[in-house]
Structure 1
Amino acid sequence: MTAPQLEPAIRLTGLTREFGTVTAVDHVDLEIGRGEFFSMLGPSGSGKTTVLRLIAGFEQPTSGTVELFGEDVTAKAPFDRNVNTVFQDYALFPHMNVLENVAYGLRVRGVSRGERKARAMKALESVRLEHVAERMPSQLSGGQRQRVALARATVVEPAALLLDEPLGALDLKLREQMQVELKQIQRDLGITFIFVTHDQEEALTLSDRIAVFNAGRIEQLGTPAELYERPGSRFVADFVGTTNLFDAELSQRLLARAGEHSIRPEKMRLAAERAADPGTLSAPGTVVESIYLGNSTRVVVDLEAGQRVSVLEQNASGDRGDLRGQHVFVEWHESAIVALDVPAPLAA
Structure 2
Amino acid sequence: MPDVPAIRLTQLTKLFGAVSAVDHLDLEIGAGEFFSMLGPSGSGKTTVLRCIAGFEKPTSGRIELFGQDVTGRPAASRDVNTVFQDYALFPHMSVIDNVAYGLRVRGVSRQERRLRAAEALARVRLDGFADRRPSQLSGGQRQRVALARATVVEPKALLLDEPLGALDLKLRQQMQVELKQLQHELGIAFVFVTHDQDEALTLSDRIAVMNNGRIEQLGTPRELYEHPASRFVADFVGTSNLFAGGQARAVLGRDGEFSIRPEKLTLATVANTTGSPGAAGTLVESIYAGSSIRRVVDLDAGPRVSVLESNDRLHRGELDPGARVHVSWSDDDVRELTSAGELTSGEERQPS
TM-score by length of 1: 0.96
Structure 1 equivalent of residue 81 of structure 2: 84
Aligned 1:276-287 pairs, distance under 5 A: 276-278=273-275, 280-287=276-283
Counterpart AA for 1:45 = G
Residue 111 of structure 2: aligned partner: 114
State the SS of the aligned residue for 1:96: coil
1:302 aligns with 2:285: no
Q: Tell me the distance in 1 between the aligned counterparts of 2:33 and 2:242.
A: 32
Q: Distance in 2 between matches of 1:287 and 1:127?
A: 48
For residues 221-246 of structure 1, the C-alpha deviation after alignment (integer angstroms, 9 at most, x for no partner) is 00000000000000000000011000
Superposed displacement of residue 162, structure 1 = 0.2
For the residue of structure 2 that corresponds to 1:287, the secondary structure is strand
Deviates further, 247-256 or 101-110:
247-256
Structure-1 separation of matches of 2:339 and 2:195? 24
SS at match of 2:85: coil
> Matched residues in 2 for 1:257 and 1:82: separation?
52
The one of 42, 64, 68 aligned to 2:61: 64
Aligned residues: 340
Q: 1:59 Cα shift?
A: 0.5
Q: Which residue identity does 2:133 align to in structure 1?
A: M
Q: Which residue of 1 aligns with 2:337?
A: 340
Give me the whole-angstrom Cα distance separating, in 2, the residues matched to 1:10 and 1:277. 51
Q: In 2, Cα distance between the equivalents of 1:39 and 1:92?
A: 24
Equivalent residue number for residue 99 of structure 2: 102
1: CA distance, partners of 2:5 / 2:162: 23
* In 2: Cα distance, 1:103 partner to 1:343 partner: 50
1:312 to 303, 308, 327: 308
Q: Which runs of 4+ in 1 moved over 2 A?
A: 272-278, 341-344
User: What one-letter code is carried by the residue in structure 1 that aligns with 2:245?
Assistant: A
Shift of 1:275: 2.4
| Partner secondary structure for residue 158 of structure 1 | coil
How far residue 253 of structure 1 moved from its aligned partner, in angstroms, is: 1.8
Q: Unpaired segments of 5 or more residues in structure 1?
A: none
CA-to-aligned-CA distance 1:49-91 (integer Å, 9 cap, x gap): 0000000000011110000000000000000000000000000
Residues of 2 paired with 1:138 and 1:20: CA distance? 40
Corresponding residue SS for 2:166: coil
Aligned to 1:159: 156
> C-alpha separation between the residues in 2 aligned to 1:57 and 1:314?
46
Q: Which amino acid aligns with 2:166?
A: A
TM-score by length of 2: 0.95
Letter in 1 for 2:105: V
Q: Match for 2:139 among 113, 131, 142?
A: 142
Q: Does 1:290 align with 2:293?
A: no
* Unaligned 5+ runs, structure 2: 342-352
Task: Report the CA distance between 1:315 and its aligned residue.
Answer: 1.3
Which one-letter code corresponds to 2:121 in the other structure?
A: L
Residue among 229, 236, 241 paired with 1:232: 229
Output one character per residue of 1:5-58: Cα deviation in whole Å (capped at 9) or x when no partner: 520000000000001100000000000000000000000000000000000000
| Identity percentage of aligned residues | 68
Alignment partner, residue 350 of structure 2: none
Contact kept, 8 Å, 2:53 with 2:159, in 1: the verdict is yes
Instruction: Report SS of the residue matched to 2:12.
Output: strand
- SS of residue in 1 equivalent to 2:272: coil
Equivalent AA in structure 1 for residue 104 of structure 2: R
| 1:131 counterpart SS class | coil
